[in-house]
């Protein structure tokens, strides 16, 4: 539990990066039962990158037992480690806050619950940032991908995915890629904005291997359906030319 204690100490001493009402209905399921149902949840940014959902203590249902275990050291009893129990199943991945900025708000580790819902939509990995957006734009600009002098893909019908605060990603039609240079990877990652990504390694004729350099989404979220089946090369790992101009890595 040391990681939770350190997080609580940091938030109590420094405050969260940002916190604001979530303005949506938030529900959670644990051990097959709804444990909270609220329109008064908070988005709390523990760091600048994305928020977590904190739940008011008063939002927990009669199916759930929420218990304070012990005060977190050096927080002046402004944060407690907690336990959430439904029937015979419990999780201790819980912090209960009682600060001015986070009064009677409960942080439950996202992966500790069976399901989270924003309104009627399931959310995965972590909540989406309400200040982040994704635009997918079809482009006729020439996109060329290479590595060590070998062309990996080339097209003038890419999709440009622009995600707030991140560099542009180029999603290429699967028919423009040199498949003989790709090897299937077992790696999978998950993105709450786009879905589950699968990967390929790049293997050049001279034996050079660049692992997990290419990803694609077989099944995307609804808002990113346009890129399903397209391949994207890590700009940071390969050479990218846009209209003949090489990008900086």
> Distance (Å, rounded) from C-alpha 249 to C-alpha 167?
10
Q: Which of 67, 96, 123 is the last residue of a domain?
A: 123
Q: Is residue 140 part of a domain?
A: yes
Q: Report the pLDDT value the prediction gives residue 167, as an integer from 0 to 100.
A: 93
Q: Report the pLDDT value the prediction gives residue 157, as an integer from 0 to 100.
A: 97
40 with 106, same domain: the answer is yes
> Distance (Å, rounded) from C-alpha 171 to C-alpha 22?
32
pLDDT tens for residues 26-46? Answer: 999 999 999 999 999 999 999
pLDDT tens for residues 210-234? Answer: 999 999 999 999 899 999 999 999 9
Closest CA to 230 of 222, 242, 240, 218: 218
Say what the pTM is: 0.85
* DSSP category for residue 161: E
51 with 96, same domain: the answer is yes
Q: What is the DSSP string of 88-130?
A: TEEEEEEEEEESSSSEEEEEE-GGGSSEEEETTEEE-SSPPPT
Q: Report the pLDDT value the prediction gives residue 217, as an integer from 0 to 100.
A: 97
Contact of 33 with 61, CB cutoff 8 Å: yes
pLDDT tens for residues 144-165? Answer: 999 999 999 999 999 999 999 8
> Distance (Å, rounded) from C-alpha 140 to C-alpha 80?
56
pLDDT tens for residues 101-134? Answer: 999 999 999 999 999 999 999 998 899 999 999 9
Q: Report the pLDDT value the prediction gives residue 2, as an integer from 0 to 100.
A: 81
164 with 103, same domain: the answer is no
How would residue 94 be classed by pLDDT, with cut points 50, 70 and 90?
very high
Contacts of 6 by beta carbon, 8 Å cutoff, 6+ apart: none
141 with 174, same domain: the answer is yes
How would residue 249 be classed by pLDDT, with cut points 50, 70 and 90?
confident
Q: Is residue 79 part of a domain?
A: yes
User: What tokens were used for 224?
Assistant: 């990113």
Q: Mean of the pLDDT values across residues 187-197? A: 94
């Amino acid at each position: 539990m040391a990681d939770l204690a350190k997080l609580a100490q940091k938030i109590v001493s420094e405050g969260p990066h940002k916190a604001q009402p979530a303005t949506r209905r938030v529900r959670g399921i644990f051990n097959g039962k709804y444990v909270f149902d609220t329109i008064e949840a908070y988005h709390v940014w523990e760091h600048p990158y994305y928020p977590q959902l904190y739940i008011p203590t008063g939002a927990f249902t009669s199916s759930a037992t929420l218990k304070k275990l012990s005060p977190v050291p050096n927080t002046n009893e402004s944060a407690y480690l907690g336990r959430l129990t439904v029937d015979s199943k419990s999780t201790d991945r819980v912090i209960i806050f009682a600060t001015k900025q986070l009064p009677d708000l409960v942080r439950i580790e996202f992966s500790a619950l069976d399901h989270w819902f924003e309104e009627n939509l399931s959310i995965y990995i972590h909540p989406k940032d309400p200040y982040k957006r994704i635009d997918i734009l079809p482009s006729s600009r020439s996109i060329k991908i290479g590595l060590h002098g070998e062309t990996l893909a080339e097209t003038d019908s890419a999709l440009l995915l622009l995600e707030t605060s991140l560099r542009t990603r180029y999603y290429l039609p699967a028919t423009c890629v040199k498949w003989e240079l790709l090897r299937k990877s077992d790696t999978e990652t998950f993105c709450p904005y786009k879905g589950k990504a699968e990967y390929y390694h790049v293997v050049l004729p001279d034996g050079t291997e660049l692992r997990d350099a290419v990803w694609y989404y077989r099944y995307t979220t609804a808002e990113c359906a346009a890129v399903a089946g397209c391949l994207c090369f890590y700009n940071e790992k390969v050479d990218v030319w846009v209209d003949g101009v090489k990008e900086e890595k």
